[in-house]
Structure 1
């Protein structure tokens, strides 16, 4: 077994925006996945909103994420056989929301893609696909938004647009935002910046003066 993270203690306050930075292989994405219950910790405790994720089985973890978390991946992770509208509506439908499609449509409008509702992922650009992914993550109004390199596959212009949308969604819904990024510009927009090195927290990085 390869041990990726070592002795990490990290607290994130409700409503805070936190950036995880560090070189490739430092454990940033692994830490984010453990925080979201998408990867299991082999020791220690992961406490989220007062619940211990390490004590939950896969079904309980899935329900917890459905009810409290939105996740945005670098690779978008959209369902290719579903339209943009269907992709955004899926987590709402799984939660039994009878207004799933109406809310999904409103969320697509909020990210500027109302006109793309009936298009499939393959018919959209990378920037548009990431907007759909953001809409899907935010539609259930999660308490926590986790984003793994949300601008990593985009050019500068699209990356800037996604950054603005990500923080705009966070501001509108009041969610706690934790993101992994190699972008210093994106990191500096967060309340706190934590650097990882070799699977450990190396310390906090001072933010530039406003």
Structure 2
């Protein structure tokens, strides 16, 4: 049996708030296989976004181990984590996080350039074409709709051909029609590049598109279920 792409063991997370330390995650153990799609659901404050951030090394686990592609993220420095994410991960947030002074093409090409790809702009243009925005390559974020900006963010996340795609409420700022289109594109990019996808969502309908769904409550795994075979 192949090793999991993501493996969490007894992971805890505590963050300092106004009233002192707050326990966010409580001893979570979870594995995600190669090419699998995992949906994380649960009420607000259940810890699902924090769990996604721990998987991506964007939050440091307080305890336990976090392994991605066989590498222990909890032992890495910030610089090592940044390089690891650059080389192996794509992250899509609810907020688009585009650089406003760069065109769509430049936004997508920048992480490729930082990774040393000589064909950065060619690959960036191909990814924009894949999300239906080839004709908007030279437009700035302020000249695009919310749905278009999220499609640029998707292209930016997928352009480096990541092993792991992490998406935190990627349709949260969009209307139903644009949200459905973004999800179709996200799963399409996953299928095209063979990435492992972990998706945080409030939508049960979106979660049910995943191979497996984990429900969090109060920072713990409350329920886990695989999608029924079609």
The TM-score, its normalising length taken from structure 2, stands at: 0.90
8 A contact 2:112–2:120 mirrored in 1: yes
Q: Which has the higher strand share?
A: 2
Match of 2:107 in 1: 87
Q: SS state of the match for residue 74, structure 1?
A: coil
Of residues 182, 185, 190 in structure 2, which corresponds to 1:162?
Answer: 182
- When the two structures are aligned, how many residues end up with a matched partner? 210
Aligned counterparts of 2:227 and 2:197: Cα–Cα separation in 1: 17
Of residues 31, 37, 42 in structure 1, which corresponds to 2:62?
Answer: 42
Aligned counterparts of 2:229 and 2:159: Cα–Cα separation in 1: 33
Match of 2:171 in 1: 151
Match of 1:137 in 2: 157
Q: SS state of the match for residue 2, structure 1?
A: strand
Aligned counterparts of 2:50 and 2:32: Cα–Cα separation in 1: 16
8 A contact 2:211–2:226 mirrored in 1: no
Q: Which runs of 4+ in 1 moved over 2 A?
A: 205-210
Aligned counterparts of 2:208 and 2:64: Cα–Cα separation in 1: 30
Name the structure, 1 or 2, with higher relative contact order (CA <8 Å, separation 6+): 1
Specify every segment of 5 or more residues in structure 1 that has no aligned partner in the other structure, as ranges. none
Offset from partner CA, 1:156-201 (integer Å, 9 cap, x none): 1001100100000000000000010011111011000000000011
Match of 1:4 in 2: 24
Structure 1 segment 58-137 matched on structure 2, within 5 A:
58-137=78-157
Q: 1:37 to 1:142 in 2, by over 3 A?
A: same
Offset from partner CA, 1:82-104 (integer Å, 9 cap, x none): 11000000110000111000100
Aligned counterparts of 1:20 and 1:145: Cα–Cα separation in 2: 13
Specify every segment of 5 or more residues in structure 2 that has no aligned partner in the other structure, as ranges. 1-20
Aligned counterparts of 1:123 and 1:199: Cα–Cα separation in 2: 39
Q: CA deviation at 1:111?
A: 0.3
Aligned counterparts of 1:70 and 1:133: Cα–Cα separation in 2: 10
Q: SS state of the match for residue 11, structure 1?
A: strand
Match of 1:181 in 2: 201
RMSD of aligned residue pairs (Cα, Å): 0.9
Match of 2:53 in 1: 33
